[in-house]
Amino acid sequence: MNDILIILLGTSILYVFSVSRLEAYVKTLALQGILLFLLVIMDIKEINWLNITFLIFETLILKGIIIPYFLLTVIRRNEISREIDPYISQFYSILIGSIIFIFGFLAAFWASRLDAGIKPLYFGISIVMIIASLFLIINRKRIITHILCYMILENGIFLLSLSVANEMPMLVNLGVLLDLFVGIFLFAIFFNKIQEMYDGNKIDVLTELKD
Amino acid sequence: MIKTIIVLITILSAPLFIGIINKTKAIWAGRQGASVFQPYFDLIKLLRKGETVSPTTSFVSEIAPSINVAAMIFALLFIPFPFVGSVLKFSGDFVLFAYSLGLAKFFLVIAALDTGSSFEGMGANREVTFSTIVETAFFILLGTLAFITNRTSFESMFAMLNYSSFYTLLIKLLFVISLFIMLLAEGSRLPVDDPNTHLELTMIHEVMILDYSGINLAFMVFASNIKMLLISILIANFLVPLNLGIAVGIALCVLTLILIYLSVGLIESLIARSRMSHIPQFLFLMTALSLTSFAIVAFFIHGVIK
Amino acid sequence: MNLFLIGAVFFLLGGIASVFANEYNKSIIYIIFSAVAAFLTSFVVFSVLITGNSMQTEIQLGEPIGKSLLVLDPLSSFFALIIIAGSFLASVYSAGYMEMYKGETAKLSTYHLFLGLMSTSMIFVVIVQNAILFLISWELMSIASFFLVTFESNKPDVRKAGIYYFTSMQIGVAFLIAGFAWISSLSGSLDFNSFKEAFTNYPALSDFFFALFFIGFGTKAGFVPMHTWLPRAHPAAPTSVSALMSGVMIKTGIYGILRIIFLINEIHPAVAFSVLIVGLITATIGIANAISQNDFKKLLAYSSIENIGIIGLGIGIGLIGKSYGNNLVASFGFLGALLHTFNHFTFKTVLFYGAGVVYSQTHTRNIDKLGGLIKYIPQTSLLFLIAALAISGLPILSGFIGEFFIYSGMIKSFAIGNIGVSIAAIIGISGLAFIGSMAMITFTKLFGLTFLGNTRSDLHSQPNESDMFLTLPMVILTILIFLVGISPFVFVTFIIQVVVLFVPQFSMNYYIEFLSLLNTITISISIFILLIVIIYSIRRLLLRKVKRTEFKTWDCGYQGGTSRMQYTSSSYAQPFMQLIAELVPQKINIQKEKVLFPKEASLYSSSQDISEGFFIQPVISALKKFMNLFSWIQSGRMQQYIIYGLLFLLALLIWILGVEL
């Protein structure tokens, strides 16, 4: 059952590669949040109410509901609907996405050969999510898309941490939450400010920040 | 106490010595000149006159002359009179001596700036510039004196300075010349400053008291008279030998002072005022002499004897 | 001891509390908290200083800090006294000064918060005896002061100055970290007491250690050539912060140097001579640059550098005495240095506070636009005059006593008999005299041109005398200046225990000798004051009998005189600048067209700090050239940076997974 959920996660990444409407990104994000929640629930071995509440809050509520809703509002308010054509054309980017997918499975294979006590499939798909989201960031031109792909990166890291332990150590959890906080709120706030200052929300203007 | 009487006599005799300088200059110029007591008459005349005060000035001009006179008298308390010693003494008192003169100078300068006149500003900045050179050289001199005699207060330094080896005489000569240059600089005499000129571009000290009148002017003139006397007594300390009786010694001291003032008068009659840009060079001579004396002490005296 | 710690934390609590107060009460709440803090801590401090018994307590923190001792020995208490007094007075002054920034509630909250943080961290710096905790407190102090300096962050030059300041601090801390890391590894523990043993075990290395720590602490103190942040940070910061930084914070650098001297204990003569020379050079460059400044806060900043040089000179003399075994010289040197530290705190704070009053009333820092302020703000002018007299080292006031002790140390060092020492002493004496006379130029210029004469430009609003909050700290400090100047033995009683720390063979004989010397000085100065009073009374008596008229200043009959014709700050300094033209080069920029009929022309002159040209600029340009070679890495495009990250990640994956197999 777990494996199916993980493969679904990986497929959602491929879906993100191919789509260009921003609302689809957000819905994928919500889906990933729910999938992660299910994964966590499946693996609970002992009932520690504090921990369970925390995990439910983080995965289901935060990643699955609040953040996608927040981003959706931002998108609708700024009336962006589509992503601009990426640097590499759609066809080649999907091709590269598939290669990354395969590479992830290879990584899972290698990981299974090691005696390190990590769950190989978790590891592999998390590698897929991380590398793929980085690639997506490179490829896209809108700032809001960067934020969305950054969220996917966070999901990948969460998955990676799940692969190492059944319950995440508090520290990594807190780190992920902090990243979420920083990323979302600052980006959202700055997004509005950037929009006010520079007309438009493409990332080329950010090159002016260089020394 | 004897010392207090001597101090009082010294204070009161300060204008007399200035009279000597003026008389010397007059005689050298072929005139008969005013009497040696003329400065007293001038001071008394000033004390009876009214004051004209500029509305630009503040309490600084009001108190500066009093502080000057008080500082000069206070400094006099540290100067050792030959055979008698100084009224106040402690280890390191020459620092207080020099810095009291500095306090007087500070107030003189800011009182000059107080009037808001550009003439006085001119005098003020020249005065402080030249005093850097003179102060430094004076401290080198005092340091060397402390080095030779291994004592730390004026009175004991001069008491110790009496063994006559060749080097000590040489040192004394260098000190006398240095202090003489300091006398010319601090007393506002030619070639550093002309006390008779009233051209603002050439004055240093005279222009700083340009706006004083009446009692304040009397105080300022009196203070500068005492300052000249202070330095002259220091010079006299080097020149008067100490191994004669008290009466002979005091007479010699007074004679030396008269000689010093006569020489100042002579120099004033013979030399013209240096160009403003040459004055620092002249003052550096004092620094050079002090440093030379230190070098002699460090390498010859301490090398040979110690 | 715990009382002390609670008191120390109260400054920070005050800062936090004032964040939550509403706009009108912020300063008042902060004053209340800092008053409580000062009250709680001063008892402990005074008892340590008088009895000489240290107090300590221990706190246990997690790794890697471990166990840390918090010790209040006489050295710490002396500096703690300065910090507490300075912080409390800053809180009172801020209440008045920050009126200028009424309405900017958020900024005021940050201001008070960081003021509290800075005060508390400074106190911890002087009591902590664990290397890592010390560095943490040090860094907190630097960060808090950085935020205070960039208070007016809307101005670009303030931001630039703040960043320059912060960078200099970090470079200094790098040296400190290096020093602490090295000595901790040699001694095996982080505790300062273990460093003592390590220093005795490795005598050959103590010179290198001293150099490392001296550069590190010297950056904070402001020794040349690490001083370049001072003339940038002080004008940029609001005046209450400048006063706190100049009066208190740079003294923590001196504390560090003294602590290291205390730990090393066996100082070689070479180190002593170097400290003396560095002190002299610092003081000379400091005051020489101060003379040529037109911005009065920059002038005061350079004057702080000069006074730090004098303190360094005093420490040098003390070290010479220590290394040649002459206790009298050592005692005088350290006594002079410590007394000058306290004195500089008092008069520099008054000067900065007075400058703050001038700035808040006239909104300009340029001396060339001021003048004649004594008629509008007489009380501030009087207090400023007293502080200016004190900083020039003139008698009756406290500045003289500090310099007197340093002079005494140098004069007595002739008795050591070593020719090197004697030459160093004469250089020291002449140097100090030269510096003192230059200080006289600077402060006659500062006081005379700002307050006296006529106003040189049109001040848009008439300056008014400031309110109680601004004047009260100045009055308190001025009273202290007089007290220490006239009766120094009271204050020396407090410092004597600190001197005993450095000169362990300081016996009661010396103490009695000191006391008699100080008594004689008190008597002499009282005679001086009496003379002044007598002469002035004579004047007033004589004045009753004569007439007094008013007429404008003698202008040789020229009827068109204006206030612009007075001497300006650059013209006042010009003769002296000509003398030292090599030491302080002037850059003159003349724009004048060569045409028949005169048109508009302009002249711009500024003085340059040669130590920047010699030391700092070449290093910066070399670094820039080196870094430019790598500038292609930063293209400004985010994609490129992510590619860097991605490539690294891939490489790492392949290496770990592939190679490991």
What would the DSSP string read from start to end of C63-89?
Answer: TTT-EEEEEE-HHHHHHHHHHHHHHHH
| Chain A nearest C-alpha distance from C398 (Å) | 50
Interface contact flag, C539 B215, Cβ < 8 Å: yes
Global pTM value: 0.84
> Do C506 and C601 fall into the same domain?
no
Compute the mean pLDDT over every residue in chain C, rounded to the nearest whole number: 87
Q: Which domain holds residue C616?
A: 585-626
Which residues does C187 contact at the CB level (< 8 Å), separation at least 6? C194, C195, C197, C198
* Domain-embedded: residue C647: yes
Interface contact flag, A134 C649, Cβ < 8 Å: yes
C222 interface with B at CB cutoff 8 Å? no
C-alpha span between C42 and C7 (Å, rounded): 9
A137 interface with C at CB cutoff 8 Å? yes
Counting the structural domains of chain A, the total is 1
Interface contact flag, A131 C661, Cβ < 8 Å: no
- Averaged pLDDT, C433-461: 89
Check the CA dihedral A114-A117-A120-A124 and report its sign.
negative
- Could you tell me what percent of chain B has a pLDDT over 70? 93
Among A167-171, C276-280, C623-627, the minimum mean pLDDT is found in A167-171
What does the pLDDT read at residue A167? 47
Interface contact flag, A137 C636, Cβ < 8 Å: no
- Averaged pLDDT, A64-81: 76
C556 interface with B at CB cutoff 8 Å? yes
What does the pLDDT read at residue B305? 47
Q: Which domain holds residue A168?
A: 2-203
Residue A190 has pLDDT above 70, yes or no: no
Among A193-207, B24-38, C318-332, the minimum mean pLDDT is found in A193-207
Residue C505 has pLDDT above 70, yes or no: yes
Interface contact flag, C645 A134, Cβ < 8 Å: yes
- Contacts with C, B 157-186, CB within 8 Å: none
* Residues of chain C contacting residue B220, judged by C-beta atoms under 8 Å apart: none
C583 interface with B at CB cutoff 8 Å? no
* Residues of chain C contacting residue A110, judged by C-beta atoms under 8 Å apart: 657-658, 661
Which residues of chain B fall short of a pLDDT of 50? 305-306
Residue C66 has pLDDT above 60, yes or no: yes
* Domain-embedded: residue A208: no
Interface contact flag, C524 B219, Cβ < 8 Å: no
Residue C507 has pLDDT above 80, yes or no: no
Chain centroid to CA C177: how far? Answer: 23
Give the nearest chain C residue to B109 (CA atoms): C444
Among C43-52, C53-62, C126-135, C540-549, the minimum mean pLDDT is found in C53-62
> Do C430 and C315 fall into the same domain?
yes
What does the pLDDT read at residue B148? 83
B76 interface with C at CB cutoff 8 Å? no
| Chain B nearest C-alpha distance from C278 (Å) | 19
Interface contact flag, A137 C645, Cβ < 8 Å: no
What does the pLDDT read at residue C443? 94
C-alpha span between C428 and B136 (Å, rounded): 11
What does the pLDDT read at residue C319? 93
A115 interface with C at CB cutoff 8 Å? no
Interface contact flag, C636 A209, Cβ < 8 Å: yes
Chain C residues within 8 Å of chain A (Cβ atoms): 631, 634-639, 642-643, 645-646, 649-650, 653, 657-658, 660-661
C-alpha span between B8 and B87 (Å, rounded): 12
Residue C445 has pLDDT above 50, yes or no: yes
Beta bridge partners of C548: B51
| Chain C nearest C-alpha distance from B27 (Å) | 32
- DSSP letter (8 states) at residue B204: S
Interface contact flag, B136 C395, Cβ < 8 Å: no
Interface contact flag, C638 A206, Cβ < 8 Å: yes
What does the pLDDT read at residue B27? 92
C-alpha span between B78 and C545 (Å, rounded): 34
> Do C592 and C519 fall into the same domain?
no
What does the pLDDT read at residue C556? 73
Most confident of the ranges A168-177, A178-187, C227-236: C227-236
Most confident of the ranges A61-65, A153-157, C553-557: A153-157
- Averaged pLDDT, C612-617: 81
| Chain A nearest C-alpha distance from C637 (Å) | 5
What does the pLDDT read at residue A201? 56
Confirm if C499 and C338 have CB atoms less than 8 A apart. Answer: yes
* Residues of chain C contacting residue B200, judged by C-beta atoms under 8 Å apart: 556
* Domain-embedded: residue C476: yes
B288 interface with C at CB cutoff 8 Å? no
Model confidence pLDDT, tens digit, residues C334-385: 999 999 999 999 999 999 999 999 998 888 888 888 888 888 888 899 999 9
What does the pLDDT read at residue C121? 93
Chains C and B touch (3+ CB pairs under 8 A): yes
ipTM of this complex prediction, to 2 decimal places: 0.93
* Residues of chain C contacting residue A111, judged by C-beta atoms under 8 Å apart: 657
* Residues of chain A contacting residue C654, judged by C-beta atoms under 8 Å apart: none
Among A50-54, A73-77, C469-473, C483-487, the minimum mean pLDDT is found in A50-54
Confirm if C18 and C26 have CB atoms less than 8 A apart. Answer: yes
Interface contact flag, A131 C646, Cβ < 8 Å: yes
Interface contact flag, A135 C661, Cβ < 8 Å: no
Model confidence pLDDT, tens digit, residues C465-480: 777 888 888 888 999 8
Residue C491 has pLDDT above 90, yes or no: no
Alpha carbons within 13 angstroms on the beta-carbon side of residue C328 total 16
- Averaged pLDDT, C545-564: 78
* Contacts across the A-C interface (CB distance below 8 Å): 45
Give the nearest chain C residue to A127 (CA atoms): C653
* Residues of chain B contacting residue C539, judged by C-beta atoms under 8 Å apart: 65-66, 215-216, 219
- Averaged pLDDT, C56-82: 82
> Do C429 and C510 fall into the same domain?
yes
Q: Alpha carbon of C507 to those of A170, B300, C264, C325: distances in Å? A: 61, 36, 22, 14
* Domain-embedded: residue C419: yes
- pLDDT band at C307, cuts 50/70/90? very high
Beta strand ranges found along C384-533 (DSSP E): none
Residue C454 has its nearest CB partner, among B49, B56, B215, at B56
* Residues of chain C contacting residue B50, judged by C-beta atoms under 8 Å apart: 546-549
* Residues of chain A contacting residue C637, judged by C-beta atoms under 8 Å apart: 203, 206-207
Counting the structural domains of chain C, the total is 3
Chains A and B touch (3+ CB pairs under 8 A): no
Which residues does B44 contact at the CB level (< 8 Å), separation at least 6? none
Chains A and C touch (3+ CB pairs under 8 A): yes
Model confidence pLDDT, tens digit, residues C639-654: 788 888 888 888 888 7
- pLDDT band at A182, cuts 50/70/90? low
Check the CA dihedral C143-C64-A181-A143 and report its sign.
positive
Domain boundary among C506, C541, C576: C541
* Domain-embedded: residue A209: no
Pairing of strands C586-591, B51-53: unpaired
- Contacts with C, B 203-242, CB within 8 Å: 210-211, 214-216, 219
What does the pLDDT read at residue C607? 83
C638 interface with B at CB cutoff 8 Å? no
Interface contact flag, B113 C567, Cβ < 8 Å: yes
End-to-end CA distance of chain B: 40
Interface contact flag, C650 A131, Cβ < 8 Å: yes
What does the pLDDT read at residue C251? 94
- Averaged pLDDT, C317-336: 90
- Averaged pLDDT, C153-179: 92
- pLDDT band at C49, cuts 50/70/90? confident
Beta bridge partners of B53: C550
* Domain-embedded: residue A55: yes
A207 interface with C at CB cutoff 8 Å? yes
| Chain C nearest C-alpha distance from A200 (Å) | 17
Model confidence pLDDT, tens digit, residues A126-147: 889 999 998 888 888 777 788 7
Which residues does B31 contact at the CB level (< 8 Å), separation at least 6? none
* Single-letter residue type at C593: E
| Chain C nearest C-alpha distance from B262 (Å) | 30
What does the pLDDT read at residue A189? 67
> Do C649 and C594 fall into the same domain?
no
